[in-house]
Chains A and B, each alone.
Chain A
């Protein structure tokens, strides 16, 4: 009797439509419960990769080039090999033919669409200062360090290129076979040729905007160790954003079965895109293979991490805009050069993405075009960094919007309102229908917050040593990578004997709080408390379902859909079992506060714990209740937002003080306000560093990195960072199970641009290259002779 009804219950539940989240009524979504990893992190218990220990751990160190471009003509490792305590020395000769791409992109079918595989484990062809020639493995790090000093090398040197436009010159030495242009594309939008439309424009404004290579500076450097387990498989423990992708790249690189690799990601100390590449994993795996499977750790120093992992692409933008008499942009063009550095990493994706953003955000009414080049240079490899090219193009476009508005005598926000992408407009680039649109509301909130009209007037025609100004910038940003790449996520939920659940996801926690939010989601849909959902922040490719990882601000959206689907399926199983036990119809039941209730009246019927216990131990009918799903997401909603900023400029020294700054976001539903604010403030701070102080410097005579440390690289401190205002505009995104859109990266896009425009308002001088540091402003003020002018024309 029971089993028959139980079966009927399951069948009934399959046809039952369980609705997605009600935007107005929910318990856990929209609250800020204590982070799942909070206790471990404030007590020092949280274990990062360096905190793990294995008996007999060996230590690997990398022998790096001291030239920027050339090749090794001789290498002598004999003295290093002879040093007591050295276990192995490997060079490029030991691993020829092991070539792979490093970007954490989903694999592409057909394979020709994948990133360029230009990385060797070790190399004799030197492409940047610090390139990796050999590796030493020793019993302890000090011995490994000593051994590096005993290696002797000679080089043949080639000219090196720090600037992409030098690297594309006809006589430039090729950094890789095939030339120095790694990728290029053209995109156009609109019916007409922009060059023809320019002829009819009332105004044409042209300018060049530049931003330098900068570094992620996550507080935990890259670190990884690898060993062979008892099944002769290679276990790689790494501080990575992409465990499943790292596994795939290694399997392909070594031509070994995927099953031979297991990747474990412990608690990690930030990534910001720099850990969306395989940087250490293949080499570390190779070293354990060379050392009989003994554990080998590579733990990069801060100096190595800053110079020789990944960076944000430096960009140079040639921009031209034509507007008509009413202030409408009728045509525009952009040519971009991206500084890619020495190895392909994310290939042309970053430059291509920012080109799409250029065409999309302020679309030209008649015609627009973009031409982009990603160029190999002898500098740090550029990869993914929070915002993925959009902070760079945002600086260029938003600066240009102010410059054009100024040239045509229009208020810069008014000019934006006329031209910005409107609600209901289809995304012209990705061709996806845009659902939620909160950008207009963000504009209004921002203008109100900063007191736009009043202060634009108030700060007109200032004189004196300290001058104030306000600036504005807006952005749009995608959520995930569909339709360019695959968007797939996995979630598994198992109900324990007492109704608590174990949630497993392949998505990665890197400090942003994804673990916490996934637990809120599962609790919401299952009708149980947040505390009843358990998910640790370790990702393990042996245990956790497939998910491509943390990038593109995708996880709460794409993985959120998977968590929702798993929770829905599990809930159906619970209700089917409860229906059988209670002799009721499953669709008349619901779970609330971990109790089975009558859906309509809310009448309490039985505890979830009893149903769960039954599932394990009911004599004739037991079966653990689980759900294991892999879901694909085929939408890509845009997040929107603005930054408003007020600055004070010291006209004598060129120092900029940010007096007030606020980001206003449409990120769909705010799932966890405290975590969301934290994301926004962190992103704003990163953008302020990009705008005002950060730059990777190279010696023009040798190509040597000059400031790859936290003293000379000007990362903002607590004293450089102002109070950071955050506002959200209430929007619900219907294509997301829980109503949310991207928020991880968007906050890092527009603050630098708003500050640049505020400096322009204050001083009358527009700075077209980042960072806007005192030296640059001082020189620009001197050149413009602003201090000697009575007033400035704003």
Chain B
């Protein structure tokens, strides 16, 4: 069954016809070519598919597509302002938090949510906030460095 939904993606309003069984991940990747949204498990265990839904980082693979109707959705494709990287994108590069890069877009979404909250977080709190994202390359150390650095700027 098809359903028409409307939502804002990276600041632009759009209308898309989806199958009601589709996850938001499938809508974003397959219909809208937002390939920064990675599928690492498909069942909400790894966080690689996280996107911002009304400012909150959530796993898009277990988010029903129809529920995106009326929401404001942001992906990594929308983080930079033209050629200007966001603070978190820059700090991920500078801190060496990027290795294979597969977990990076999802983590950037959570990091962006933390940055936009305006609150401060200790390293331990950062670890708790990003614990929904699995990474096998970095041991998380430089990711925590990156988020900490980005929050200070």
In chain A, positions 657-701 with a C-beta closer than 8 Å to chain B are 674-675, 677-678, 681-686
Give min CB distance, A320 to chain B, whole Å. 35
A725-755 vs B, Cβ < 8 Å mask (1 yes, 0 no) = 0000000000000000000000000000000
What are 29 A-B contacts with C-beta separation under 8 Å?
A: A37-B101, A38-B93, A38-B98, A39-B85, A42-B101, A43-B76, A218-B136, A219-B46, A219-B103, A220-B40, A267-B101, A268-B100, A269-B40, A270-B102, A511-B101, A512-B99, A513-B99, A677-B96, A678-B96, A681-B139, A682-B99, A682-B139, A709-B45, A710-B45, A711-B45, A718-B135, A718-B144, A721-B140, A721-B141
Q: Say yes or no: is A456 at the interface (Cβ < 8 Å to chain B).
A: no
Chain B residues, CB < 8 A from A685: 136, 138-141
Question: Judging by beta carbons under 8 Å apart, are A219 and B45 in contact?
Answer: no
Known contacts A272-B136, A717-B134; decide if A48 and B142 are in contact (CB<8 Å). Answer: no
In chain B, positions 112-153 with a C-beta closer than 8 Å to chain A are 123, 126-128, 130-131, 133-144
Chain A residues, CB < 8 A from B131: 717-719
Question: Judging by beta carbons under 8 Å apart, are B136 and A681 in contact?
Answer: no
Residue of A nearest to B135 (CB): A219
Q: How many residue pairs, one in A and one in B, have C-beta atoms under 8 Å apart?
A: 162
Measured between alpha carbons, how far is A719 from B104 in the docked complex, in Å?
18
Q: List the 7 closest pairs (A to B, CB-CB), nearest first.
A: A44-B36, A511-B100, A685-B139, A269-B102, A41-B101, A44-B76, A681-B139
Chain A residues, CB < 8 A from B32: none
Measured between alpha carbons, how far is A218 from B102 in the docked complex, in Å?
9
Measured between alpha carbons, how far is A685 from B144 in the docked complex, in Å?
14
Contact partner, A42, options B38, B45, B46, B98, Cβ 8 Å: B98
Chain B residues, CB < 8 A from A41: 98, 101, 104
* Binding site secondary structure of chain B: loop
Q: Say yes or no: is A332 at the interface (Cβ < 8 Å to chain B).
A: no
Measured between alpha carbons, how far is A302 from B123 in the docked complex, in Å?
30
Question: Judging by beta carbons under 8 Å apart, are B130 and A677 in contact?
Answer: no
Contact partner, A44, options B42, B75, B136, B137, Cβ 8 Å: B75
Question: Judging by beta carbons under 8 Å apart, are B41 and A710 in contact?
Answer: yes
Measured between alpha carbons, how far is A715 from B42 in the docked complex, in Å?
17
B51-94 vs A, Cβ < 8 Å mask (1 yes, 0 no) = 00000000000000000000000011101100001000100110
Question: Judging by beta carbons under 8 Å apart, are A44 and B100 in contact?
Answer: no
Q: Say yes or no: is B48 at the interface (Cβ < 8 Å to chain A).
A: yes
Measured between alpha carbons, how far is A723 from B141 in the docked complex, in Å?
6
Measured between alpha carbons, how far is A280 from B139 in the docked complex, in Å?
28
Question: Judging by beta carbons under 8 Å apart, are A684 and B42 in contact?
Answer: no
Q: Say yes or no: is B35 at the interface (Cβ < 8 Å to chain A).
A: yes
Chain B residues, CB < 8 A from A674: 96
Contact partner, B38, options A219, A681, A682, Cβ 8 Å: A219
Residue of B nearest to A219 (CB): B102
Interface core residue of A39, A510, A709, A718 (most chain B CB under 10 Å): A718
In chain A, positions 535-584 with a C-beta closer than 8 Å to chain B are none
Give min CB distance, A46 to chain B, whole Å. 6
Question: Judging by beta carbons under 8 Å apart, are B89 and A302 in contact?
Answer: no
Question: Judging by beta carbons under 8 Å apart, are B136 and A48 in contact?
Answer: no
Question: Judging by beta carbons under 8 Å apart, are B127 and A718 in contact?
Answer: yes
Interface range for B: 35 or more
Chain B residues, CB < 8 A from A40: 101
Give min CB distance, B87 to chain A, whole Å. 11
Residue of B nearest to A299 (CB): B39
Chain A residues, CB < 8 A from B39: 50
Interface core residue of A34, A219, A675, A719 (most chain B CB under 10 Å): A219
Measured between alpha carbons, how far is A674 from B94 in the docked complex, in Å?
9
A647-660 vs B, Cβ < 8 Å mask (1 yes, 0 no) = 00000000000000
Q: Say yes or no: is B27 at the interface (Cβ < 8 Å to chain A).
A: no
Residue of B nearest to A223 (CB): B39
Chain B residues, CB < 8 A from A38: 93, 98
Q: Say yes or no: is A301 at the interface (Cβ < 8 Å to chain B).
A: yes
Question: Judging by beta carbons under 8 Å apart, are A709 and B43 in contact?
Answer: yes
Measured between alpha carbons, how far is A513 from B96 in the docked complex, in Å?
10
Q: Say yes or no: is B34 at the interface (Cβ < 8 Å to chain A).
A: yes
Chain A residues, CB < 8 A from B36: 43-45
Measured between alpha carbons, how far is A717 from B102 in the docked complex, in Å?
16
Q: Say yes or no: is A217 at the interface (Cβ < 8 Å to chain B).
A: yes
- Give me 9 other A-B pairs in contact (C-beta within 8 A), A43-B77, A511-B100, A685-B136 excluded: A37-B98, A42-B79, A220-B38, A220-B40, A269-B40, A301-B42, A510-B100, A677-B96, A686-B136
Give min CB distance, A659 to chain B, whole Å. 13
Measured between alpha carbons, how far is A393 from B48 in the docked complex, in Å?
33
Give min CB distance, A268 to chain B, whole Å. 7
Measured between alpha carbons, how far is A674 from B145 in the docked complex, in Å?
12
Chain A residues, CB < 8 A from B96: 32, 674-675, 677-678
Q: Say yes or no: is A196 at the interface (Cβ < 8 Å to chain B).
A: no
Question: Judging by beta carbons under 8 Å apart, are B93 and A219 in contact?
Answer: no
Residue of A nearest to B92 (CB): A42
Give min CB distance, B143 to chain A, whole Å. 7
Give min CB distance, A19 to chain B, whole Å. 31
Give min CB distance, B27 to chain A, whole Å. 15
Q: Say yes or no: is B108 at the interface (Cβ < 8 Å to chain A).
A: yes
Measured between alpha carbons, how far is A498 from B108 in the docked complex, in Å?
37
Measured between alpha carbons, how far is A34 from B35 in the docked complex, in Å?
23
Question: Judging by beta carbons under 8 Å apart, are B102 and A48 in contact?
Answer: yes
Q: Say yes or no: is A328 at the interface (Cβ < 8 Å to chain B).
A: no
Residue of B nearest to A302 (CB): B41
Give min CB distance, B97 to chain A, whole Å. 8
Question: Judging by beta carbons under 8 Å apart, are B35 and A269 in contact?
Answer: no
Q: Say yes or no: is A203 at the interface (Cβ < 8 Å to chain B).
A: no
Known contacts A37-B101, A42-B89, A267-B101; decide if A721 and B134 are in contact (CB<8 Å). Answer: no
Question: Judging by beta carbons under 8 Å apart, are A219 and B98 in contact?
Answer: no
Question: Judging by beta carbons under 8 Å apart, are A43 and B80 in contact?
Answer: yes
Question: Judging by beta carbons under 8 Å apart, are B79 and A43 in contact?
Answer: yes
Chain B residues, CB < 8 A from A715: 134, 136
Q: Say yes or no: is A127 at the interface (Cβ < 8 Å to chain B).
A: no
Q: Say yes or no: is A51 at the interface (Cβ < 8 Å to chain B).
A: yes
Measured between alpha carbons, how far is A382 from B43 in the docked complex, in Å?
26
Measured between alpha carbons, how far is A510 from B144 in the docked complex, in Å?
22
Q: Say yes or no: is A592 at the interface (Cβ < 8 Å to chain B).
A: no
Measured between alpha carbons, how far is A464 from B89 in the docked complex, in Å?
46
Q: Say yes or no: is A724 at the interface (Cβ < 8 Å to chain B).
A: yes
Chain B residues, CB < 8 A from A682: 99, 136-139
Q: Say yes or no: is A47 at the interface (Cβ < 8 Å to chain B).
A: yes
Give min CB distance, B21 to chain A, whole Å. 9
